C-alpha cells in the first residue's frame, strides 16, 4: 500500500475512499510518527487543516496514529498551508501536517507532510514512511503514549509573521482590496493581515460551511472577484485557493493576472535590486514561453522543473535560488516562506504598488503571453491514455507541426485522474489545430 500512497503533493483522494480514509490516516500518522522520532525528551507534531467537513475525520485519525507512537500533537485548526511550514519550524516540531486538497472540490481531501525544517518532505522521506506503512510500526508503551492539545494562538502567530514580510513602516491606507479566500483555510487569516496593515478589505469566500471550499470562487474561479473589483472600483483583487498556497491577482480594470505575470514582475524588480539569487527564476514546464522571452531581455535565467511546487522548491534549494513558482499561482519566496504562500505573495505585489505608486494594471501585465491553451481530460478507472499508440502518434504529429514556434506538454495529473494537455504557439490557428488533434486522441482513449 505504501508505495502507491504518495503523489506529487502528499496523499490525496476522495474523502472516505482509499487512500483518504480514517484507517489509512491513522496508519500514516503512526508510520510518520515512528519515522520522525528523535532521541530526545519530547516529540512534537503540528496538524492544521482547511475547512472541509472531512477534515475532522482525518485530523482525529492522524492524531490517534501519532499519539500511539509517543508523539505529542498540537492541533492548530484551520490555517493556511504555508503557516504549517512556518509553525513546524517555529514550534520545534519533528513533523508538520496539513490536511487539505488545495484547489480540489470539497469532496476531496489530502495530507501534506513537512519536515522539521518546515519544508515539504523529500521523495526519500516519503519512501521511508511508505516502508514503515507496509512493515507495520512499533507502538509506544502505555506510559509513553502522546498527548494532544489545541493551540489557540496559531493563527495569530502566522498573522504577525506575515505582516513582518511587508516593508517596514509601509502601510496600505487608501487601498481598496477585494479579497476572495475561497471559503478555505485563510478565511480569517488573510482579511486580518490586510486590514491590520491599513487596507479597506472587501471580503469574499469567508463563510465556509464544510462543503463550499473552492466552489465558484478562489484562484481557480476568479471571475466573481473580477466583477466585484469593477463594481466596487477596487484597486486590486486577490484570489487565494482552498489552502492559500496559491494566489491570482486582478487589476483595477478587472483583468486577471496569473502566476507567470507575478513572477515576471518580482524577478525583474529583485534583479534590479540585486536580490534575485543567481539571477535566476525557477518555474515549471507549464510557464508561458512569453515569460521566458521577457526574462531573457532582462538578463535573467529561467530554470524549468517538472510540474509541482515541491519540484520547484527542490530546484531552488539545490541551486541556492530564492524565487520560483508556477503559472497556477504557487509563488515560492524562500526569503519569507518554505512553500508557496498566496498571502505573502500578494503582500509583495502590494509593496510594489506602494513603492512605485503605479496602479495594478501597470504592474500585473509584465509581458505579452504566447497564445496558450490548457485542457484537462478525465479518464475512467483502469484506463491509461498515455500508453495508447494513437495518443503517442497524435503527440508526435503535433510536435512536428509546432516545430520551434511553440511547445506541447501532455502529462497525467499527479492529484486527479486526468490528462492535462497544454500547448502554445505563435500562430493561433496552429495552436487550435494541435489542441484539437491531441485532445481528441486523448478523449478517445479515456
> Hey, which residues are catalytic here?
102
98 grid coordinates: 496539513
Within 8 A by CB and 6+ apart from 365, the residues are 251, 255, 257, 261
DSSP at 377: E
Q: Give CA–CA dist 313/120, Å, rounded.
A: 9
Burial of 48 (0-12, 13-18, 19+ CB in 10 A): buried
Q: How far from chain centre, in Å, is Cα 321?
A: 18
Calpha distance 195→187 (Å, rounded): 13
Q: Give dist(CA 101, CA 15) in Å, integer.
A: 10
Q: What is the largest CA-CA distance in the chain?
A: 70
User: How far apart are alpha carbons 91 and 117 in whole angstroms?
Assistant: 11
84 within 8 A of 45, measured Cβ to Cβ: no
Report the length, in residues, of the chain: 446
Q: List strand residue ranges (DSSP E) for 189-297, in order.
A: 200-204, 236-240, 247-250, 256-257, 280-284
Q: What is the DSSP letter of 56?
A: H
CA distances from 196 to 11, 81, 115, 192 (A): 35, 21, 31, 6
CA pair distance 329, 417, nearest whole angstrom: 22
N-term to C-term CA, the chain:
25
Residue 112 near residue 80 (C-beta atoms within 8 A): no
Q: Which of 308, 338, 256 is nearest to 90 (CA)?
A: 338
d(CA 378, CA 365): 32
Amino acid at each position: 500500500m505504501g508505495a502507491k500512497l504518495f503523489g506529487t503533493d502528499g496523499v490525496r483522494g476522495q474523502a472516505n475512499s482509499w487512500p483518504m480514509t480514517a484507517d489509512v490516516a491513522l496508519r500514516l500518522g503512526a508510520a510518520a510518527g515512528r519515522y520522525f522520532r528523535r532521541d530526545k525528551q519530547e516529540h512534537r507534531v503540528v496538524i492544521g487543516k482547511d475547512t472541509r467537513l472531512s477534515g475532522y475525520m482525518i485530523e482525529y485519525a492522524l492524531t490517534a496514529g501519532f499519539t500511539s507512537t509517543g508523539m505529542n500533537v498540537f492541533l492548530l485548526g484551520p490555517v493556511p498551508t504555508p503557516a504549517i511550514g512556518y509553525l513546524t519550524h517555529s514550534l520545534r516540531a519533528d513533523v508538520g501536517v496539513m490536511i487539505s486538497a488545495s484547489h480540489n472540490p470539497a469532496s476531496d481531501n489530502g495530507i501534506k507532510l513537512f519536515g522539521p525544517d518546515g519544508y515539504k518532505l523529500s521523495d526519500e522521506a516519503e519512501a521511508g514512511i511508505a516502508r514503515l506503512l507496509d512493515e507495520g510500526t512499533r507502538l509506544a508503551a502505555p506510559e509513553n503514549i502522546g498527548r494532544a492539545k489545541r493551540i489557540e494562538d496559531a493563527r495569530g502567530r502566522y498573522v504577525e509573521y506575515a505582516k513582518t514580510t511587508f516593508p517596514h513602516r509601509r502601510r496600505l491606507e487608501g487601498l481598496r482590496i477585494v479579497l476572495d479566500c475561497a471559503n478555505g483555510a485563510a478565511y480569517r487569516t488573510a482579511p486580518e493581515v490586510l486590514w491590520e496593515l491599513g487596507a479597506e478589505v472587501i471580503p469574499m469566500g469567508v463563510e465556509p460551511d464544510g462543503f463550499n471550499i473552492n466552489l465558484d470562487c478562489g484562484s481557480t474561479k476568479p471571475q466573481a472577484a473580477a466583477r466585484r473589483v469593477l463594481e466596487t472600483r477596487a484597486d486590486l483583487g486577490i484570489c487565494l485557493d482552498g489552502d492559500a498556497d496559491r494566489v491570482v491577482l486582478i487589476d483595477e480594470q478587472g483583468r486577471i493576472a496569473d502566476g507567470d505575470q507575478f513572477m515576471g514582475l518580482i524577478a525583474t524588480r529583485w534583479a534590479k535590486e540585486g536580490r534575485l539569487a543567481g539571477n535566476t527564476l525557477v518555474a515549471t514546464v507549464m510557464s508561458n514561453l512569453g515569460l521566458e522571452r521577457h526574462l531573457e531581455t532582462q538578463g535573467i535565467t529561467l530554470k524549468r522543473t517538472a510540474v509541482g511546487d515541491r519540484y520547484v522548491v527542490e530546484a531552488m534549494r539545490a541551486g541556492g535560488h530564492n524565487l520560483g513558482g508556477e503559472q497556477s499561482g504557487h509563488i515560492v519566496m524562500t526569503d519569507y516562506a518554505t512553500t508557496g504562500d498566496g498571502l505573502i505573495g500578494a503582500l509583495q505585489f502590494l509593496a510594489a504598488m506602494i513603492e512605485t505608486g503605479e496602479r495594478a494594471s501597470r504592474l500585473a501585465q509584465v509581458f505579452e503571453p504566447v497564445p496558450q491553451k490548457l485542457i484537462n481530460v478525465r479518464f475512467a478507472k483502469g484506463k491509461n491514455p498515455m500508453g495508447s499508440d494513437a495518443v503517442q502518434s497524435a503527440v508526435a504529429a503535433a510536435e512536428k507541426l509546432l516545430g520551434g514556434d511553440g511547445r506541447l506538454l501532455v502529462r497525467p495529473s499527479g492529484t486527479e485522474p486526468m490528462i492535462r494537455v497544454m500547448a502554445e504557439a505563435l500562430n493561433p490557428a496552429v495552436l487550435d489545430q494541435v489542441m484539437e488533434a491531441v485532445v481528441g486522441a486523448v478523449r478517445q482513449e479515456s
